[in-house]
């Protein structure tokens, strides 16, 4: 599955804008959601290949979004990243990977280079789009 469309769901407009700009620079279509309900609706209607969810958002947490879209669309299997400024420990990461089958667990502040490397682990062709040294 080639990466073309990414959802960034975070209640921080600044985070969505900054990460969105980085991803658009690499030719990706970026969809944004400001809360968990909007994220769930967008995931189900737009079916992005990569879903980047803030752990804590209004209306539904990132974890709730994962549970609900997997229940509603069991055959849809995007790559899922959780980003968090709150749940910073190996215990939280381990639980997220085990219980919610999260592909990446990234802590804020999130450097663009770290995000690019994480994307490349799941979409190797994406690494070919990155400038040398990234």
Q: What share of the chain is helix, strand, coil (3-state, %, to 5)?
A: 45, 20, 35
- Return the H-helix or E-strand segment holding 19: helix 13-25
The mean pLDDT value for 2-30 works out to: 96
Spatial separation of the C-alpha atoms in residues 31 and 39, rounded to whole Å: 9
Q: What is the pLDDT of residues 68-126, one digit of tens each?
A: 999 999 999 999 999 998 767 788 889 999 999 999 999 999 999 999 999 999 998 88
Phi and psi, residue 31, nearest 5°: -115, 140
Domains of the chain: 5-127 (3.40.50.2300)
- Residue 49 in contact with residue 1, Cβ under 8 Å? yes
The predicted model gives 15-33 an average pLDDT of 96
DSSP line for 77-97: --EEEEEESS--SHHHHHHHH
pLDDT score at 92? 83
């Amino acid at each position: 599955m080639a990466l073309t469309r990414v959802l960034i769901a975070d209640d921080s407009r600044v985070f969505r804008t900054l990460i969105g700009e980085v991803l658009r620079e690499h030719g990706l279509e970026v969809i944004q959601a400001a809360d968990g309900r909007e994220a769930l609706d967008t995931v189900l209607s737009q079916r992005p290949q990569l879903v980047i969810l803030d752990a804590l958002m209004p209306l539904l947490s990132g974890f709730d979004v994962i549970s609900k879209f997997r229940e509603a669309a069991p055959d849809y299997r995007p790559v899922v990243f959780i980003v968090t400024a709150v749940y910073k420990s190996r215990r939280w990461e381990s639980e997220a990977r085990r219980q919610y089958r999260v592909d990446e667990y990234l802590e804020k502040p999130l450097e663009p280079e770290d995000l690019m490397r994480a994307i490349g682990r799941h979409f190797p062709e994406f690494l070919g789009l990155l400038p040398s040294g990234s």
